[in-house]
Amino acid sequence: MKEDASGFRFLLYSINYSPELTGIGKYNGEMAEWLAKSGCEVDVITAPPHYPEWKVHKGFSRYSYSRKRVNGVNVTRCPTFIPRHPNVVRRLIHLLSFAISSSIALFGKIFRKPDVVFVVQPTLFCVPLALLFCKLVGAKSILHIQDFEIDAMFGLELTKSSKRNRRLRFVSRLETYLLTKFDIVSSISYSMLAKARVKGVAENRLLYFPNWSDTEFINPSVDGRELRKSWGVEAHEKIVLYAGNIGAKQGLESVLDAAHAFQQSDLEDVRFFIVGEGAHSERLRKLAEEMGLSNLEFKPLQDWENVPKMLAMADVHLVVQRKGVADAVLPSKLTNILSAGGHAIVTADENTELFKIVRKYPGVYTCISPEKSDLFISAIEESLLLSKNQSVNDSAREYAIRFLNKDSILNEFLGGVQQQLGVSVVKLELNS
């Protein structure tokens, strides 16, 4: 570390945090601990860990507040309703319950007087009081958009009623009003920043802050043979892997359809694995059983120590999303696949950033239109052949090193915050 940021006070406000193994919670945890290691005073207000299982992790409570210092970070957890089987109404109650309970913890930080309050969307319910808090303590406000939750919800038509359009207009106007009140609005892709611009955020308030990968920990030289053997995979068998959240956005029925097609073709040397948890886990498992898929298995989320091995043993990686959500939700799992030098098939519409990336950097991954079964199956067949001839996707690895390195991204972000807000955050060089 060349300099430190001693005395700089940073408050992270998000419903997700470590020890959640995937998604927003994982990135929040890594960022907070990175900042604490740099010398910042970091406070976190969050819910009990529950994602993607939608079940509170062992050792945590959904009913009470808790405060604990973890790896140099002051973590306050707030009571939150965690639905075991989330639907639209239960999700809204889930988000609202956190917004209400966390407001008490938030205003308990008044005397800490943070320099920056970093709010992560979702949830939008937390935004009004967060803005009020910033005004009271004189803090700079940053809204970091991991998901455009309103776009994702309405894009998937999760809210079906005759009043849908009227509700959408009202909620969209409210979202626009709130977005424009932040000092900085950051997001994980340029296309999502473009959405924020359309929603009314001024250009000089936008900041690119992508998700990252630990490119040293996850690399192509990792040996996955031991884990492969423990999963009962023979040396001659090929692995097609999906690892991540099992929810409505993903549309993982397409993976089941592909497994069924391979099974019907008597391609016995191809094994499909779905690794993860989520709101649709039980439904998907039941569907796979009904289809009689002997070539597909479900595995639980893997400990972080096993992730590089899991990525290394796969011949083809699947990054699957339904039509209409690819620019509302950028899949964070892709960063680690690229860092591992994996051969990935990504489903995304042609006008999305995912498609633009592969046009600009050919070979980084294969991108196809979502919800097209024949195209999806053909892409898997072609990628299996490609991985046979080239076990490591050098283009993917080079892209990860160039654009997805954790220290580089976090340093760049702090530099952007300092430039746009004029706060006394030094730019750091860490070897974590």
Residue 123 · residue 147 · CB < 8 Å: no
Query: With a threshold of 0.85, does the pTM exceed it?
Result: yes
Nearest to residue 382, comparing CAs of 296, 333, 321, 316? 316
Q: pLDDT at position 430, please?
A: 47
Instruction: Outline where 156-224 has alpha helix (H).
Output: 164-179, 190-198
Buried b (16+ CB within 10 A) or exposed e, 303-342: eeeebbbbbbbbbbbbbbbbebbbbbbbbbbbbbbbbbbb
Q: pLDDT at position 153, please?
A: 64
Structural domain 225-402, CATH architecture = 3-Layer(aba) Sandwich (3.40)
Q: pLDDT at position 432, please?
A: 42
DSSP 125: G
Q: Mean pLDDT for each 10-residue chunk of the chain (432 residues)?
A: 63 98 94 94 98 94 98 98 89 95 97 96 93 97 89 57 67 90 94 91 95 95 95 96 89 95 88 93 95 96 95 96 70 91 94 89 95 95 92 96 94 89 59 43
> For residues 200 and 156, what is the distance between their CA atoms, to the nearest angstrom?
23
Q: pLDDT at position 431, please?
A: 44
Q: Domain 9-212+405-421, CATH 3.40.50.2000 — does that match?
A: yes
Q: pLDDT at position 332, please?
A: 79
Residue 432 · residue 9 · CB < 8 Å: no
> For residues 405 and 178, what is the distance between their CA atoms, to the nearest angstrom?
31
Looking at 316-388, which runs of residues are DSSP E strands? 316-319, 344-347, 366-368
Tokens representing residue 357 in the block: 């990336």
Q: What is the pLDDT of residues 367-382, one digit of tens each?
A: 999 999 999 999 999 9
Those residues with Cβ within 8 angstroms of residue 236's Cβ, 6 or more apart along the chain or in another chain: 269
> For residues 20 and 28, what is the distance between their CA atoms, to the nearest angstrom?
10
The secondary structure element, H or E, covering residue 31 is helix 23-38
**CATH 3.40.50.2000 domain range(s) in the chain:** 9-212+405-421, 225-402
Q: pLDDT at position 158, please?
A: 47
Helix (H, G, I), strand (E, B), or coil: what is residue 184?
A: strand
DSSP 143: E
% helix / strand / coil in the chain, to the nearest 5? 45, 15, 40
Q: pLDDT at position 329, please?
A: 58
Those residues with Cβ within 8 angstroms of residue 132's Cβ, 6 or more apart along the chain or in another chain: none
